Structure 1
Amino acid sequence: MIAEVLESPRRKRSPAFGSSSRAERRLPIGWRLGLLILPVIFCLAHLTFGANQPAAALWFTAILGLSLVVVLASPLRRGLHDLRPTLPLAILFLAVVGAALWSLTPYTPGGAHPLYGWAGVGSGAASIDRGATVIEIVKLLGLAAAFVVGALQGGNRTRGQSTIEGLVWAGGVYAAVSLVTFLAGAQVAQGGGRLSGGFLSFNNGATVFGILVVLSLSVFLRAWKRTEGLSVSKRLTKTAVSLSCLSLTSVCLILTASRMGLVATAVALVVLLLWETASSRKGRAPVAIGAVLLLGVGVVLMFSGNDLLWTRVGGIDADVDVRGQILSAHWQAFLASPLFGYGLGSFDAINTQIMSGETVANLWVIRATHNVYLQWLEEAGIIGAVPMFLLVGIILTVAFVRSLGGQGKGLQRGLVCASLVVLVHGLTDYALQVPSIAGFWAFLLGIGYAFGQGRG
């Protein structure tokens, strides 16, 4: 199905969306500033704890919804008919939302959760926290809005490139602010000299900085290739912004001292560099430069008195035991209600129920399972989680297929590899439970899904 859609002939596009004219390739400053609005909003949300409180999350969701309304009122709406495939995405998303709505009733195959009978509260529901489930459904609609905005901005190649560059520039400023705040001792999250990037969890900051490192490298590689034929000094001048952003985000990533964040980013960077090397016969020099720069920054920071990271690596065995106990307890909870789970947003209620004398010390202090896949299965059940997994899988598959080839595909390869940071780090952490990170990734998925469909 995906291959047929990708190989289908393109319809004729209006100049406003699909023109390949020189005029459109040089976007006016107004367009560039407009494309920067949502990336800047994401960075501001990151700096304010990731909007990770119920009221803040709802306000953030409202902003995402408003951004979609604004985009649909702009000329970008003309690109809606160019986005494909849309039907499988719509069906799967509606299945996710439908499963969440169904869990608000007692009419699921397993019926209402027994706690409603114990408490003598009405007819009950499959969800054990209906209020939290309603909030999560609203947040899902916000993520859908972010995805569509990203797809409309990325559908046209010129605007997609400008959006990705804007993300990197905004990310560089965000990294600089995070670094200054950290060095000044003014960040809210305190603990062992780690940088948080505005979040209450240092590992969440690592996810965002890892994404930005991958995107910055992708933008640098593209910029270096486009300056072929110029002197080295001129090439460095023209790539100075992307190099600066790459350096800043790399420094911040290492200062988070997140072990799995660094591993996830390293995996994504290796994949990107190998992919770029295999895809471009003439573009191996910038790949080597990018690799040497990253290696140099890493070596300097990790071997110049940065003992915290090595201390954390030395304590990994104890953390593995703790995470293992958490995952085991919540896996058993999932097996007890595998079809519909316990309702989206119900983690705290589940966690309280499954505590025992042996696990209370490790479960009492957590607010997530530290594995986004298990948490989705536990909260949404197989009925709700499988459509979500398939939805993300189709989006990434479409982005991957469209990224194959050499010319003009570098940024899309960067988007695919940036998603690897989220997927790998999600095995041991909970970044996607933070609204600003989930919205940021949904926006990137939208850009990657639509990137290159336009002719600009």
Structure 2
Amino acid sequence: MADHAAALETPASGRASRQRLGWAAPALAVLLVAQWLAGGANQGVSSALAACADAALAIAVFALAPAQSRFWARARGPFVLLAAALLWAALPGLLPAGLARALAMPVNPAADRFALALAKALATTLLLIVAGLLAYRDGSARGLVRVLTLAGLVYLLWAAADALDWLYDSARAARYSGTIGNPNAAGIVFAALALLAGGLALAPEAEPPALRGAALAGSAVALVLCALTGSRSAVLLALVGGALLLVRRWRRWQDGRPPLRLVAAAGLALVVLLGVVAWATPVGDRSAYLPEDAGSRWAVIDHYAGIAQAQPVWGHGLGSFYDVNQQTLTPEVAPLYWNFGAAHNAAVQQAIETGWPGLALLLLALAAIGWQVARARRDWWTVAPLCALFAITGSAMVDIALNVPAVAALFAVLLGAIWGAALASGTPRVRRRGKGVRGARAVA
């Protein structure tokens, strides 16, 4: 029945559908930029407003999307797991007190924050689905990723001007926190934008030379801004992601690879630039005590994993991390952990708030999405988003990246764009004996 319904979509109706949703990708990009400008939507009022805006955009897109789209059928597995993860997290705050006690659910010490935390989780999930639907309707991530990158370039212009003003009032050892207010969160946003801009500059499709040049310049500016934040993990992950991007583009070069001398000269110039940036920004100074910080960060993660183990089934409740941290302080650990607002590891914090089953359901949902992406035929426009996702995920394992709603929203949109494009490809990749030949694209 789903195939029959999809067959009823004529080319004219498909074009009409895309026109009805043509505003959605720009609106999504503007929404993300607005959250970056609003302190990462990391305060109570801004978080609530951002969650409402995300939900309103999702409702509008779902209302205008054709009901016969096969997207909903193809994505049902991850849908079920995402819904289960949200339900598990929400149950302790929604069930009557007597039933909650009978199920051994602990009392949330931050019950006043539960509704906002649930709204943010739901809004992030909706953004993931919206981005997936838009990419599915286009048959590729190109439209959404391109619009998001262009919006990011405009944001980088504002951030660069703001950074110049900041430099007049700051010492060399100070860290730039951008418009988000936290240096590490700002650093990973700049790293992701550098990778997206690099992907546009290297795109195999016919892009205007002026746009490629602007994207290349934007990528360089984003890397410099990333270094100004002093976030060593963001800089390192941006470099690793950039190397993966360049290697992937080199392998797919269709019109002849550039001369080796040109590549070597460009590589040398990049190394010199990075050396100057590292020397002139806080990254260089902070790298001197990286081994000591690495050991300290592992101790932090181990400490909070122990707190998660205290309530392994249901967790302490959505939004409870700060209060739980304050309640578990002892004279031995208080000097280090008294001001922590996040566990500096997204997985551990999820376990603290929703229990290990809640974390398992979320990881299963992400694994199901990853499985569909891995099996699908992909094009160039998924490469840069994948590199950006790698950077954000890596940062979230040692820092607060995904605790900032604006960063979580960026992660959800990038993942959704890749997921939707994978579902639209229709045919899994196949390998013939002796050769890595990709399967033909089926008509979605």
- The bucket for the TM-score relative to the shorter chain is 0.7 to 0.9
**Other-structure match for 2:436:** none
Q: Distance in 2 between matches of 1:54 and 1:189?
A: 29
Deviation of the 1:48 alpha carbon: 1.5
| Shift of residue 160, structure 1, vs aligned partner | 3.7
Q: Which of 300, 303, 325 is the matching residue for 2:276?
A: 303
The number of residues matched between the two structures is 419
Q: CA deviation at 1:151?
A: 1.6
Aligned to 2:160: 179
1:15 to 11, 15, 22: 11
Listed one character per residue, the Cα deviations across residues 123-145 of structure 1 (whole Å, up to 9, x for unaligned) are xx3x3323323322211221122
Amino acid in the other structure paired with 1:57: S
Which whole-Å deviations, capped at 9, do the CAs of 1:5-28 have from their partners, x for residues lacking one?
Answer: 9xx999434325756xxx99xx98
1:87 counterpart (54, 65, 76): 76
5+ residue gaps, structure 1 = 114-124, 228-233
Q: 2:185 aligns with which of 192, 199, 204?
A: 204
Gaps of 5+ in 2: 426-442
Whole-Å separation in 1 of the counterparts to 2:382 and 2:25: 17
1:362 is matched with 336
Distance 2:129 2:333 in 1: 42
**CA deviation string 1:72-120 (max 9, x = no partner):** 343x44574335532212211121122112222453786143xxxxxxx
Say yes or no: does 1:49 pair with 2:39. Answer: yes
Letter in 1 for 2:11: P
SS in 2 for 1:365: coil
Q: Which stretch has the larger CA shift, 356-365 or 315-324?
A: 315-324
Structure 1 residues 32 and 213: alpha-carbon distance in aligned structure 2, compared to 1, 3 A threshold: farther
Q: C-alpha displacement at 1:195, in angstroms?
A: 2.4
Which residue is equivalent to 1:111?
A: 104
The answer to whether residue 232 in structure 2 is matched with residue 259 in structure 1 is: yes
**Deviation, structure 1 residue 52:** 0.4
Deviation of 1:311 (Å): 0.7
* Sequence identity (%): 21
Structure-to-structure mapping, 1:218-229, within 5 angstroms: 218-222=199-203, 225-227=204-206
Q: In structure 2, what is the Cα distance between the partners aligned to 1:206 and 1:185?
A: 15
TM-score of the superposition, structure 1-length normalised?
0.81
Q: Deviations over 1:185-225 (max 9, x none)?
A: 29999994322221121110111112112222222221xx3
3-state DSSP of counterpart to 1:342: coil
Distance 1:347 1:198 in 2: 24
Relative distance call for 1:83 and 1:246 in structure 2 (3 A) is farther
Shift of 1:275: 3.2
Change beyond 3 A, Cα 1:81–1:186: farther
The C-alpha deviation readout for 1:245-272, integer Å capped at 9, x for no partner, is 2222222222222111112222322333
Work out whether residues 150 and 446 of structure 1, in 8 Å CA contact, stay in contact via their aligned partners in 2: yes
Counterpart Cα distance in 2 of 1:295 and 1:42: 35
Residue 26 of structure 2: aligned partner: 36
TM-fit CA distance, 1:282: 4.8
Relative to structure 1, the CA distance from residue 211 to residue 57 in structure 2 (aligned partners, 3 Å threshold; closer, same or farther) is same
Matched to 2:242, the amino acid is: L
From the superposition, tell whether residues 303 and 336 of structure 1 become closer, same or farther in structure 2 (CA, over 3 Å). same
2:306 is matched by which residue type in structure 1?
A: Q
1:279–1:186 distance in 2 versus 1, CA, 3 Å: closer
- Secondary structure of 2:373 counterpart: helix
Q: The residue matched to 1:226 in structure 2 has which SS?
A: coil
Equivalent in the alignment of 1:120: none
Shift of 1:396: 2.7
Alignment of 1:447 onto 2:417: yes
The farther-off stretch of 352-361 and 185-194 is 185-194
Q: Which amino acid aligns with 1:251?
A: V
In structure 2, distance between residues paired with 1:293 and 1:80 = 46
TM-score, structure 2 as length reference = 0.83
In 1: Cα distance, 2:29 partner to 2:156 partner: 13
Distance 1:59 1:357, change over 3 A: same
Residues 1:375 and 2:375 aligned together: no
